[in-house]
Amino acid sequence: MIDPFGRSITYLRVSVTDRCDFRCIYCMSEHMTFLPKVEVLSLEELDRLCTAFVHKGVRKLRLTGGEPLVRRDVISLVRSLGRHVKSGALDEMTITTNGSQLERYAEALFDAGMRRINVSVDSLDPEKFKRITRWGGLDPVLRGIRAAKDAGLKIKINTVALNRINDDEFDQLITWCGEQGFDMTMIETMPMGDIDGDRTKDYLPLSLVRADLEKRWTLTDIPDRTGGPARYVRVGETGGRLGFITPLTHNFCESCNRVRLTCTGTLYMCLGQNDDADLRTPLRQHPTDDRALAAAIDEAISRKPKGHDFIIDRRHKGPAVPRHMSVTGG
C-alpha cells in the first residue's frame, strides 16, 4: 500500500477496545462514556480485518486501546494473529499496555509470538502513579513487568512527560530502565479528546527535557528506528536506549508508515486528523469475500493526509481532534 505522498504503509495499530481500567489524566476524563458493545467488532471480525491488512502488505501489527488486556478473551485474538508471525507474513506483532493485567498474560503473549511489548509507566512513586492514572496501582504493574521480563519479552517503557507532575522523576526512571535492561520512550502530551482539565499546564516540550537531561547524562544520538516515530539516544551512563516522541515540537509525519483501526472497524489514516474510513460495512456485507474490504482499504489509503498539526498553547486549549487517544490507540 503506497499513499499519495509515496509513503509505504506497513504498520497497523489496532485499538481492540476503547475501555480501560485506568483513567490517566492526560488521556481520559474521569467519567467516560464508552461505546455500546453492539458497535464493537467481535474478535473474529478484528482478526479478519487485521488479516486483510496483512494480505495488503502490513508487516507490523500493534494491539492497543483503551487497555487491550481488559478485553474479554483478547488472548484468543493474540493467539490467532500469531499465525501471521509464525508464517513470516508479519515481522512483528506487539502490544501497548498499562501493565495491569500483564502478570496474568505475559507468558501467553510470548507463546503467541510476541517478543517486544510497550508498557506505560509515568511514575515509580505509588502515590503519584495513582494521581496520574486515577484508578491504577503501581504494584500490579511492576509485578506484570517482572512477569513479562521472566517470560522473555523485551520491554520498552513509555512515559508521558508531564510538567510539574513527573518531571522530577525522569532521572530515576532512566536509571531504573538502565538497570532493568528496558528501553524507554518519552512522549509529549497530545491534544486529543476532552479531559477534565486543561492540558496547557501539563504540557512539557521534550526539547526542554532533553536539554535538562543533558546536564546530568551523556546522550548520544543514534540512528535506530523501531518502525515508529521515536528518535533515539544512547544514555552513556546506563548503556540504555532513550527515545523521544515529539509530535508537537518536531512533527514526524514525513516518514509516517502507519494507519489506525478502531474496535468499531473505523480506519483513521492520521492520528491527528478527523478523516476516516468505514471498514465495518464492507466487512459485514460480505462475510466470506474480502474483495469489497480490500477495495475500501485501498480507497482509504488514497486519502491518507500529509500530516497533523498539533498545537498546545494558551490560544489552543481545546483538543485538536475530538476523540480520545484511547479510541484510536496511542
Interface with ligand SF4 (CB under 6 A):
20, 22-24, 27-28, 65-67, 98, 120, 326
Output 40 or 283, the one with its CB closest to ligand SAM: 40
Please pick, from the candidates 190, 209, 230, 267, the single residue that binds ligand SAM as defined by CB under 6 A: 190
What b/e sequence results for 287-318 when a residue is b if at least 16 CB atoms lie within 10 Å of its CB, and e otherwise? eeebeebeebbeebbeebbebbebebeeeeee
Output 67 or 290, the one with its CB closest to ligand SF4: 67
Instruction: Decide if residue 98 touches ligand SAM (CB under 6 A).
Output: yes
- Selection from ligand SF4, ligand SAM, none that 93 binds (CB < 5 to 8 A by kind) is none
Nearest distance from residue 285's CB to ligand SAM, in Å? 30
Cα separations (Å) of 137 from 101, 121, 253? 11, 11, 35
Instruction: Decide if residue 189 touches ligand SAM (CB under 6 A).
Output: yes
- Rounded distance, CA 68 to CA 101, Å? 10
- Selection from ligand SF4, ligand SAM, none that 64 binds (CB < 5 to 8 A by kind) is ligand SAM
Please pick, from the candidates 7, 52, 59, 96, the single residue that binds ligand SAM as defined by CB under 6 A: 96
- Selection from ligand SAM, ligand SF4, none that 23 binds (CB < 5 to 8 A by kind) is ligand SF4
Candidates 46-54, 60-68, 220-228, 290-298; binding stretch for ligand SAM (CB under 6 A) = 60-68
Edge-to-edge, what's the strand order for the sheet holding 60-64?
Answer: 219-222, 231-235, 241-245, 183-187, 154-160, 116-120, 92-97, 60-64, 11-15, 258-261, 266-268, 276-278
Which amino acid, 169? E
Which pairs count as long-range contacts for 164-169, CB under 8 Å and 24+ apart, including other chains?
Answer: 164/201, 164/202, 165/122, 165/123, 165/128, 165/131, 165/132, 165/202, 166/122, 166/123, 166/128, 166/132, 167/204, 167/209, 169/123, 169/124, 169/125, 169/128
Please pick, from the candidates 1, 54, 65, 84, the single residue that binds ligand SAM as defined by CB under 6 A: 65
Nearest distance from residue 116's CB to ligand SAM, in Å? 14
Output 96 or 238, the one with its CB closest to ligand SF4: 96
Instruction: Decide if residue 27 touches ligand SAM (CB under 6 A).
Output: yes
Output 185 or 326, the one with its CB closest to ligand SF4: 326
Nearest distance from residue 88's CB to ligand SF4, in Å? 31
Beta strands in 253-317 (DSSP E): 258-261, 266-268, 276-278
Instruction: Decide if residue 203 touches ligand SAM (CB under 6 A).
Output: no
Output 158 or 301, the one with its CB closest to ligand SAM: 158
Q: Which set of grid coordinates corresponds to residue 225?
A: 528506528
SS3 category, 247:
coil
Question: Within positions 113 to 142, which residues make up the interface with ligand SAM, using CB under 6 A?
Answer: 120
